[in-house]
A and B are shown apart, each in its own frame.
Chain A
Amino acid sequence: MSTIEQTTQAVPTGTWNADPVHSEIAFTVEYMAGKFRGTFEKFNVQLVDGVLSGTAEVTSISVKDENLEAHLLSPEFFDAERYPELSFRSTRISREGDEVTIAGEVTIKGHTELAEIRGTFKDPINDPYGSERLGLRLETTVDRTKFGLNWNNPLPSGEPALANDVTLTAELQLVKAA
Chain B
Amino acid sequence: MRVLGISGSLRDASYNTKLLRVAGRLLRDDVEFTIWDGLKAIPPYDEDDDIGSGPPAVARFRQAIAGADAVLFATPEYNASIPGALKNAIDWASRPLATNPLRNKPVAVIGASTGMFGAVWAQAELRKVLGATGARVVEAELAVGHAHEHLDADGHPADPAQEEALRDSVLLLLGELANAEVAA
A contact set with B: CB distance below 8 Å: 66-67, 69-71, 73-76, 79, 81-82, 151
Contacts and interface: CB of A to CB of B under 8 A. Distances in A.
A73 to B, nearest CB: 8
- Which 10 A-B residue pairs are closest in the complex by CB-CB distance? A74-B134, A70-B98, A70-B97, A82-B183, A75-B136, A81-B104, A67-B97, A76-B131, A66-B98, A70-B134
Bin the interface of chain B by size: 10 to 19
9 contacts: A66-B98, A67-B97, A70-B103, A71-B132, A71-B134, A74-B104, A74-B134, A74-B135, A75-B104
Given A74-B134, A75-B134, 14 more contacts: A70-B98, A71-B97, A71-B132, A73-B134, A74-B103, A74-B131, A75-B131, A75-B135, A75-B136, A76-B131, A76-B134, A81-B104, A81-B183, A82-B180
B90 interface: no
A82 B136 CA distance: 11
B3 interface: no
A79 B148 CA distance: 39
Contact of A69 (B98, B104, B131, B135): B98
Contacts of A76: 131-132, 134
Contacts of B180: 82
Select the residue from B131, B133, B134, B179 with max chain A CB neighbours within 10 A.
Answer: B134
A107 to B, nearest CB: 16
Nearest to B102: A74
Interface in B134-184: 134-137, 179-180, 183
Contacts of A66: 97-98
Nearest to A66: B98
Nearest to A110: B183
Nearest to A83: B183
Nearest to A74: B134
Contacts of A69: 98
Contacts of A70: 97-98, 103, 134
A61 B133 CA distance: 18
A71 B135 CA distance: 10
A66 B137 CA distance: 22
A75 B136 CA distance: 6
Given A81-B104, A81-B183, A82-B183, A75 B98 contact: no
A73 B135 CA distance: 11
A76 B96 CA distance: 17
A175 to B, nearest CB: 34
A69 B131 CA distance: 14
Contacts of B183: 81-82
A75 B127 CA distance: 12
A22 B134 CA distance: 33
Nearest to B100: A70
Contacts of B135: 74-75
